[in-house]
Amino acid sequence: MTHSEVLLWMNLKSRQLHGERFLRQYSVDQYVLSFYCPRLKLALEVDGGSHFAVGAKENDEHREQHIGTYGIHFLRFTNAEIYNNLDRVLQSIYQQVESLGKTRIGVVPAEPPMIPHSHRRGETAIGGAY
């Protein structure tokens, strides 16, 4: 994990944000999400320097579109946003969690429970084998 991911994780782990469970380094097909809330289908992505290279924006859009086919919502933050204004980042996440939580009350997930990438080798959490 990058330093910015560690900073964000320190505020997400142990259900600190609105009581929601976030997982880190979560696999969806061939992609790995920085953080993921399974109940709300919310991905949090932390964009470092590699996300600003030539062609990276298009790759990120394709990746997000593919993952979105599973009904997963995205919030993206840069390293600089996390370093310089962590409170604003956390407020944005809180607002999205609150909004999604209101729309998902009483909704039973259609798929089986998702398994964090780091706990099972050779399988992704959503989509199948590597």
CATH of 3-119, one of 3.40.50.1820, 3.90.1200.10, 1.20.1250.20, 3.40.960.10: 3.40.960.10
Place of tokens 């470092």: 48
pLDDT of the chain along its 130 residues, tens only?
A: 899 999 999 999 999 998 999 999 999 999 999 999 999 999 999 987 554 556 668 888 999 999 999 999 999 999 999 999 999 999 999 999 999 988 765 544 444 344 444 444 444 466 654 4
Q: What angle do CA 53, 66, 31 make, to 5 degrees?
A: 65
Sequence ranges of the domains in the chain: 3-119
Residues 6 or more apart from 4 whose CB is under 8 A from it? 46, 48, 79, 82, 83
Indicate the pTM of the whole model.
0.75
